[in-house]
A and B are shown apart, each in its own frame.
Chain A
Amino acid sequence: MSSMKELVEFMAKAVVNDPDSVIVREIEGSSATIFELSVTPEDMGRVIGKQGRVANAMRTLLRVAAVKEGKRVTLEIV
């Protein structure tokens, strides 16, 4: 398990009410790695935030990890 995936899981689990339902899928694309985050419908707002603020903060921090590993990443909430 990559540390980037752990990072997404760690952030998501810390802000939701139901951490056990947090699932992160890592999909290797040709040019970028996609992380798909899924949570319970009730927790969607918590990982997205007002005006996407939480999702964007997670993306920003994920990008730092990606730069460290020399990769391109996207985070999608599904």
Chain B
Amino acid sequence: MLNQNESLDVSAKTVEEAIDQGLEQLNLTRDQVEIEVINEGKRGIFGIGSEEAVVRLTPKPQTVVSSQSHNDIQSAEAASDVLPEVPATLEKEDVVEAVDAVDVEAESSTEAIAQPPDAEAEIPLDEETEPEQDVAASAKAYLEELLDHMGIEAEVTPRIAPDLVDPGEEPPLVLDVTGKDLGILIGRRSETLQALQYMVRLMVSKDMQSWQRIVVDVESYRARRRRSLSQMAKRMAERAVSSGERVVMESMSAYDRRIIHVALRDHPDVFTKSIGRESNRKVTIIPK
């Protein structure tokens, strides 16, 4: 487990965010640690040439407070994904990557690429303003051309997908991509799949002049991911209830966070809330 007195290096977009993340990992408050700024980070222009801020947090000797809850999350996630051994001294990011290497399904997307540019809403449900068929045909054509230029041979089938949302919600338009060896289209932390989806949304939305919530799926990855996230949410909820402490999950995209919120919406003993900013937003499960 994490050594209580060892210092922890954390990187994030800004110094403040890095400190907050670090404190969360250590489960300490600001006055319980020494904070050393290793790199202030640079914002860059339009996100180009930006540098991550790095801080080093060293717990003060007298504050040997349990970092139980965080380590529990790590070990629980690691165990549930049948990961052989994760050194507990790894930073959160490393753990996520280690998990990725074992099971692409278990990964957590920290980049919320799937969001529309200004979306902060937890429940991004756009009303379909255009005839659905036009959107479907246009989206299929754009995706096929993208894949063709990328040198990928695959079949694109549009469908309305009630299986990817909960009962009572408006099912989204999904473009199912099927073919051989399409793992390359999902990528590490589903980065490639999110990029593909984002580009298709941009292209179609520009034509339609309204934001289109199109989902791109490869070999039913989305459905599998939904299942594993809901299952994880339920395990973490049990943990929160039995420990009586809130459980903070990994940072996730808006879409993934929403799956967690919905999975625990009717849970009798916990409620959920997202904390943190932009790509660092995390679902917190709080016992009632």
Report A's interface with B, CB cutoff 8 A: 3-4, 6-7, 10-11, 14-15, 44-45, 48-58, 60-61, 64-65, 67-69, 77
Q: Give complex CA distance A16, B113 in Å.
A: 19
Q: Which residues from chain B contact A44 at a C-beta distance below 8 Å? A: 46
Question: In the complex, which residue of chain B has the Cβ closest to the Cβ of A4?
Answer: B149
- Does B47 make an interface contact (CB < 8 A)? yes
Q: Give complex CA distance A7, B187 in Å.
A: 19
Question: In the complex, which residue of chain B has the Cβ closest to the Cβ of A53?
Answer: B113
Asked if B145 contacts A10 (CB within 8 A), the reply is: yes
Asked if A60 contacts B187 (CB within 8 A), the reply is: yes
Asked if B146 contacts A61 (CB within 8 A), the reply is: yes
Asked if B202 contacts A65 (CB within 8 A), the reply is: no
| SS class, residues of chain B in contact with chain A | helix
Q: Which of B118, B151, B187, B195 contacts A68 (CB 8 A)?
A: B151
Q: Which residues from chain A contact B278 at a C-beta distance below 8 Å? A: 51
Contact with A along B180-203 (1 / 0, CB 8 A): 000011010001101110110011
Question: In the complex, which residue of chain A has the Cβ closest to the Cβ of B115?
Answer: A53
Q: Give complex CA distance A50, B206 in Å.
A: 16
What is the CB-to-nearest-CB distance from B207 to chain A, in angstroms, rounded to a whole number? 8
Most buried by B among A14, A58, A68, A77: A14
What is the CB-to-nearest-CB distance from B48 to chain A, in angstroms, rounded to a whole number? 6
Q: Give complex CA distance A57, B278 in Å.
A: 17
Question: In the complex, which residue of chain A has the Cβ closest to the Cβ of B112?
Answer: A53
Q: Which residues from chain A contact B152 at a C-beta distance below 8 Å? A: 64, 68
- Does B150 make an interface contact (CB < 8 A)? yes
